[in-house]
Amino acid sequence: MRLQFNKIPLAILGIGLMFTAACKKDLAPAPQADNNTKSKLGTNAIGVSGPKGVCYVEVNNNDIRNVGNYTLSTGQQLFDVAIIFAANINYNTTTQKAELFFNPQVTNVLSNASTYIQPLQAKGIKVMLSILGNHQGAGISNFPSQAAAQDFAQLLSNAVTTYGLDGIDFDDEYADYGNNGTGQPNSSSFVYLVTALRQLMPTKLISFYFYGPASSRLSFNGVTVGSKVDYSWNAIYGSYSVPNVPGLAKSNLGPAAIDIQSTSSTTAASLATQTVNNAYGIYLYYNLPNTDVHTYLTSVSNKLYGTSTVYTGGTTPPATGVTFYQDANYGGTVTASIPKGNYTLAQLQAYGFIDNWASSVKIPTGWTVTMYKNDSFGGSSWVRTSNTANFTTLFPSANDVVTSVKIQ
């Protein structure tokens, strides 16, 4: 199980357009059938190419483009799939329906697909969006009817089309079933959801992070989840456990899962060896940081592919956004790049901002930043339209007092 996604107020996004690209290890799904026992993918993942690398990135804190900065010494991309972690299932208590929500960081990645998504796809990496609960009672396991599941599947399909994504990943965590008067997990919900989504997205990828109530509710009325999804992988980092998803072949399963920032390289290498020896087709990585970790990843790639990992960083352009600094003259600790949006303290903290801490700021040309002394945009305010090297020069002084921000 991964670290909990930061649960901050989220914004509803509209739906528009975009496109996708190809990949290196034949990840495109074959036409879907209703056969409940035979895998849909003849991927032949085991062999010269080896198991596919699937990597979750916490976009609250890290740049998903870093997935594309790792190759094997042969020049092949290390990662085949990059997963944006994560969008949320929220619950509208007025309409009593599940809604798809994105926080500001996910919004930034999706709405700037040409910057964050398409460069990965151009390298042959598939980009998927992970979906999980948000403590509001709504999740993939408690849709009250087939129609409700179909409605939510349509929202997911719209998002894939709008942002040019390659598919959807399901994660049954943090739903807090029962909150807001919602129902408990039922046997039909997840099957209805993946069935509807497969009908809407016959050529896109669908995966299941094997965890939560959905993991024991994989069949209903003779239809299995495994006949509708393309992949499933173990959800417990640092362990080896084969997901029990009838209908998926070994080439579509990932029993090994690691947290790059906490699983030891020795354990990661051992799990890679087991994956190859037992002929499974997926190796799951989580929590790729912005820093260079090619030495750690080499411990895995040596076992999976018999070759080292190379870091090609430095080619990724810096993210566009506002950066706050701890000290005057842009010194001390710096936040991550913050995109346009309105940010309470809790939202700013996801970018490394600390309350009553900032002393200078850099602002992209043409942007406007309004800083507030109090949380939720209260108290004294300061409007800035260019880099400001020393907050003590503002009146009243803004040094070490900024708590919330609006960026336009």
C-alpha to C-alpha distance for 285 and 287, rounded to whole angstroms? 7
Question: Contact 158/112 with Cβ under 8 angstroms?
Answer: no
The structure tokens listed for 387 are 């880099």
Q: b or e along 280-317 (b: 16 or more beta carbons within 10 Å of the residue's beta carbon)? A: bbbbbbbbbebeebbebbbbbbbbbbebbbbbeeeebe
Which one of 80, 99, 171, 173 is the catalytic residue?
A: 173
Question: Contact 14/161 with Cβ under 8 angstroms?
Answer: no
What's the length of the chain?
408
ω into residue 185 within 30 of 0, thus cis?
no
Q: How many CB atoms lie within 10 A of CB 267?
A: 17
Question: Contact 392/399 with Cβ under 8 angstroms?
Answer: yes
Cβ within 8 Å of residue 387, ≥6 positions away: 330, 360, 361, 362, 363
Catalytic (active site) residue 173: yes
With CA atoms as reference, report the closest residue to 207 among 199, 197, 216. Answer: 197
φ/ψ of 290, rounded to 5, equals: -80, -15
Give CA torsion, residues 292, 84, 164, 304, to 10 deg. 60
Question: Contact 39/247 with Cβ under 8 angstroms?
Answer: yes
C-alpha to C-alpha distance for 359 and 371, rounded to whole angstroms? 12
Helix (H) or strand (E) holding 309: strand 309-311
Question: Contact 70/311 with Cβ under 8 angstroms?
Answer: yes
Active-site residues: which are they?
173
